[in-house]
Structure formats: structure tokens, C-alpha cells
Structure 1
Amino acid sequence: MLLASGQSAVVFSDLNPHSRTAVVRQLDLSLLHTFKTIAECKSLSLASQRLHKTQAAISIQLKKLEDQVGKRLLDRGHQTAELTSHGELLLQYARKMLALSNEAMDLFVKEEISGTVRFGIPDDYANAFLRPVLRDFIQRCPNVRLQIRNDISQNLFSALEKGELDLALVTRRNNDGNGEILRCDQLQWVAGESFVMVPDVPLPLALYPHGCGYRGQILKALSDSQREYEIAFECTGVAGVQLAVDSGLAIAATSSALMQPAWQVLDALTHDLPVLGSVTIELRLGNHEVPIAVQHFADELRKQVSLK
């Protein structure tokens, strides 16, 4: 069957043998985007946060897509949503189709996207994630002006609440449902290659200042385990922590994404250190309408920061 110029591609076509009328079924890109987001989040509730829609609306879109393809795409449990075999197959097509759609749209609209994006990020996250985000976003949206604030998470939360920032990448401080979780990493004790733990000596720490999400978690774990410590190096930037650890002056705690090549991981049991648990990185948007430029920047953050 030939398609007229400008007509959408046919995804499914059934022929009724009695009426000999073709029944055309087409995939809706907006439904595929919702499906892809659910698959990546493995949760309808998390997908609803990312898409800024209600969970009921997400469920309706998923049901509509399942009706279109005539297959069940997800097995939904109490907390998670797992892909069926048909869902895994469709996800491959969804990613290709959405990527091609984005490529085509970028070709025509990237010169039209303008404005200012006010973004906040802690120093260690900037060091780990920001370079590829800036590279790809500037190429994609060359007419957008970026204003970046480098600060600890606590101050970035305040800036968002005051309307001073459009979005921020922060360490999660509470489960209020307003942030979009991008990754959750185990905190690990780290030291320089030459560091040697001395028994019965207070643990020398390199820490960020008050207000850093990691700091409170680290000190609470040490206090709960009654492990003696001293703050040997306190700094506001990642360079200071790296200097303290590399020189052997102090140890620190960090996530896998922020590890440096020359650092060693200290086994908690072997070195009589408390287990620290995990740390969650989330994307927060300001309390106002989200401009298209901010949406594009948020997409780049999701692509670069989210666990694959």
C-alpha cells in the first residue's frame, strides 16, 4: 500500500476479509514517551513526577498504548513496574522513534529556543556530571543563556524557594514528592593510596561545610557507632576534599560517581567504620511555569546523570 505525501507511517494494518477495508493502527509518540519514561523509572509514581502528570493520567496513557498494540506491556506490582517480553520489544522501537523525532525537531526549532536558564549544582556534582551536559545543551540550544550557581544543596533549596533558580541538581533532603530522583548511590569510605589507618586515633575527616547532605549522614553514622573522629579538613569545593584525601591528611565518604582514580575504598568492617547507607540525587524545578529552554536543559541532565 502506498502512502500519500505527508501521511504518517503505518505501524499496523489489518484487512477485514468481509469489508476489504484496511484498519490502520498508528503509534502515538506522546504515548511512547510516557511508556519509555515508565520503563526507565520502573514505577508509575516516579514517572508521573518526571512527566509532571498525575499517576491516573499516566495509567490512562499506558492503557491506551496497550490497547493500540493489543499486548500487555508492563507487569505492575505494589511498588515497581516491570516490562513484559512485549514491553521490552516495544521499548526498543520507542527509543528509536523518539530519538528520530527529537533529531528532526532539533533541526527545525533549536535556533528558535532562547531565554535564560538559571541552574544550581553543588561543586562535586558539577565536577562529575556537568561537562557533557553543557557540551550537548550548548550545541542543541545555542541561543539560550546559562546562569550557573555552584553551592551546597541546602542553599540551592533556598534559592529555588525564593525563585532565584529555575532548576537545581541536589542531594535529596526529604521525601516531599517535589523532586525527581535521578540516581541513588551507596556512600563509601575512601582514602588516598598511601593512607594507613592508625588504631585508637580519632578518624581524620575531610568534609564539606554545614548544609551539605553528605556531612550530616556521615557524622550521624559515626556518632551512632561511637567512632571517634576529628574534622581535619573542611572546605566548600571538591578540590579541597581531593587535596585532603590525595595527600593522606584525611579520609572522606563519597558515592561511586564521584570517586577519583587514585582513591582506595575502605572496607567498613575491616577498618571498624560504620556503614553509611545510600545518597539520592534529585532534580528540582522551581515553583513556576517551566519554559521550554529549562525543559531542554532538564532533559540533558536526565540523560547524563540518571543511572542507565
Structure 2
Amino acid sequence: MSRLIDPILLRTLTAVVRSRSFSRAAEQLSLRQSTVSQHVQRLEAQLGRRLIARDTHSVAPTPEGEAVLGFARTVLDAHERLERTLAGGAVQGRLRFGASEDFVQTRFAEALRDFRASYPSVDFELSVSFTQLLGEAVERGDLDLFLGKRRVGEAQGLLVRRDRLVWVGLPSALPERDEPVSILTFPAPSITRAIALEALARESRAWRISCTCASLSGLRAAALAGLGLMVQARSLIADGLQELAGTDLPRLPEVEFILAGPGLQREPSRTLAHDILHADIWD
């Protein structure tokens, strides 16, 4: 190759692969979908390789695309760390961040560590609650940014990724066909709780709530004890548990993970949002 690769093209490629969608990548990058397509085409032309395989149903990297993606993440990480190191030392103040309970059990700490390295002088306040309550805190001016969930089709926030809700637990907790489903759930106003109960009601499936707990670690303990089934996003299944499909269990819809709040438009919380968007915290 006779010239360097534009990091902007690499950033677009990683967004398309991560979101598995040109339209969702455009939303994350604040670009038009046609611009995202042009970026990928320019990168493919420069490298002389097809990087993205796409049809009417799916978008996925080719083997060459997977190889380029690994290098792209290294280049982008170094580029962004340099920019933030040069700009971050003088930034002081406070960042008030909220996260729904599900995410605290993931590799979310890695995104926080990267943020701390870029902004060592910023005081960080973390609130853990349900998405609805976090949204209300933003409206009151008590939070700058939060990471939460929304139903597919809702407009709140910036889309991070989409995943399917599934039934989770131990196989021994699966009910017989004529038995009610024992549910382990967060209290209201949990989105996953509402979706699970709506799905059961639509199919007239008998159920009972055998455990309510505001802590994910508490629900995991109840599930490991075989007390019932919980509902989680497939990418967030807790250690020791597994996705279950059993007699008359209704299929659950997808849910979307989002970032929301005025911090999306200003530093230093905009940097944290960027770290979350580009971190593999669900893997």
C-alpha cells in the first residue's frame, strides 16, 4: 500500500462489525448510512479485500475482515489514548454515571479503567439502579450519563447493541407442562420483569414469582439453588447458569442497550460513552 489507512475508515468498520448493521453503525457514529457504506467501500478498495459479507438478513465480517478488525482496534486504541492523554490532564470536575444492575457484573470495569487513565483528575460517582429510575435521575439533573436498556422500537438514548432476552437457570428448575413457571426477578420497574410477565400472559402460561431481589448476585444465587428461572440478555448470562428452553416457555423478544443523558454531548462523560461503545464488555 502506498499510503496510510485513515483511522476514520477503521472506526467505521469496527462499528459495523460490532453492531452487525450499517444503520445502527450510522446511528452510533452520527453519520448517514450512505456515508458508512462509502467508508467500508473505500477501505475495501484500498486494501484490495472484501471485508464485510452482507445480504438482506445479516452483516458479518469476512475472514479478511476479522484479520483487519484486530489491527484496527489496536490502531484506534492507540490513536484515541494519545488524544485523550494530551487533552485529559487539565480536565477536572465530577462525572455522575448510572448503570443498570445487569452491567455491573460484566467487564464494565475495563471501560472505567480506560476512562480513569485518560481523566485521572475527574471524580467519579456511580449509581446502580433500574433504567427507568436512572432516566428519572437524569431528568432531575442528578446524573450526567447512564447505561441502561430499552424495548426495541423506543427512541430513548444512543443504541449500544441489541440482544435477545432468554430464560436462564438450571435444567432442574424447568417446570413440567402443567406446572407454573417459577420466576426469579428484579422488582418493578424492571424492564426484563415487565417483558417476561407480558410474554407469559400472552400465552396464558401459569407463573408465580418465587424470588424478588434488586441485586443480580442475589438472583443468581437463587437460580443456582434451583428456585426458579430468571430472564437475562443472552450476552449477560451469569456464571454457572445456562440458557433454557422448556415446555411452554414463551419466546422472549430482543432488548436494546443504550447510553443516555446530557453527558453524550460533553466531556468528560462523552469519553466514557465512547469507551463503552467500543469495549467488548459483554464478551
- Common fold by TM > 0.5: yes
Give the alignment of 1:188-203 within 5 angstroms: 188-191=167-170, 195=173, 197=175, 200-203=178-181
How many residues are treated as equivalent by the alignment? 282
- Quote the RMSD (CA, aligned, Å): 3.4
Match in the other structure for 1:101: 79
Alignment partners' CA distance in 2, 1:143 and 1:36:
30
Decide which of 269, 273, 276 is 1:298's aligned counterpart. 273
Match in the other structure for 1:274: 249
- Indicate if the aligned counterparts of 1:190 and 1:254 stay in contact, CA closer than 8 A: no
Match in the other structure for 1:141: 119
Range with bigger deviation, 128-137 or 149-158: 128-137
1:60 to partner: Cα distance:
4.7
Q: Secondary structure at the match of 1:33?
A: helix
Alignment partners' CA distance in 1, 2:240 and 2:64:
44
Q: In structure 2, what residue type is equivalent to 1:42? A: R
Match in the other structure for 2:163: 184
Distance 1:103 1:67, change over 3 A: same
Alignment partners' CA distance in 2, 1:80 and 1:196:
32
Q: Secondary structure at the match of 1:187?
A: strand
- Indicate if the aligned counterparts of 1:122 and 1:152 stay in contact, CA closer than 8 A: yes
- Indicate if the aligned counterparts of 2:168 and 2:229 stay in contact, CA closer than 8 A: yes
Q: In structure 1, what residue type is equivalent to 2:231? A: A
Match in the other structure for 1:233: 211
1:167 and 2:163 correspond: no
- Indicate if the aligned counterparts of 1:218 and 1:276 stay in contact, CA closer than 8 A: no
Q: Secondary structure at the match of 1:276?
A: coil
- Indicate if the aligned counterparts of 1:182 and 1:307 stay in contact, CA closer than 8 A: no
1:274 to partner: Cα distance:
1.2
Q: Secondary structure at the match of 1:102?
A: helix
Q: Secondary structure at the match of 1:204?
A: strand
Match in the other structure for 1:15: none
- Indicate if the aligned counterparts of 2:259 and 2:273 stay in contact, CA closer than 8 A: no
Gaps of 5+ in 1: 1-10, 13-24
Alignment partners' CA distance in 2, 1:288 and 1:281:
19
Range with bigger deviation, 67-76 or 244-253: 67-76
Sequence identity percentage? 24
Identify, as 1 or 2, the structure richer in helix: 2
1:214 to partner: Cα distance:
0.9
Using the size of structure 2 for normalisation, the TM-score is: 0.79
Distance 1:234 1:69, change over 3 A: closer
1:33 to partner: Cα distance:
1.9
Distance 1:189 1:81, change over 3 A: closer
1:216 to partner: Cα distance:
1.6
- Indicate if the aligned counterparts of 1:209 and 1:236 stay in contact, CA closer than 8 A: yes
Distance 1:173 1:162, change over 3 A: farther
- Indicate if the aligned counterparts of 2:196 and 2:231 stay in contact, CA closer than 8 A: yes
Distance 1:162 1:57, change over 3 A: farther
1:303 to partner: Cα distance:
3.9
1:62 to partner: Cα distance:
4.2
1:112 to partner: Cα distance:
3.0
1:145 to partner: Cα distance:
1.9
1:187 to partner: Cα distance:
0.9
Give the alignment of 1:61-100 within 5 angstroms: 61-62=39-40, 65=43, 74=52, 77-78=55-56, 80-83=58-61, 87=65, 90-100=68-78
Distance 1:215 1:30, change over 3 A: same
1:259 and 2:237 correspond: yes
Match in the other structure for 1:4: none
Match in the other structure for 2:18: 40
Decide which of 200, 213, 233 is 2:191's aligned counterpart. 213
Distance 1:36 1:207, change over 3 A: closer
Distance 1:294 1:198, change over 3 A: same
Alignment partners' CA distance in 1, 2:10 and 2:277:
17
Match in the other structure for 2:102: 124
Q: Secondary structure at the match of 1:214?
A: helix
Using the size of structure 1 for normalisation, the TM-score is: 0.74
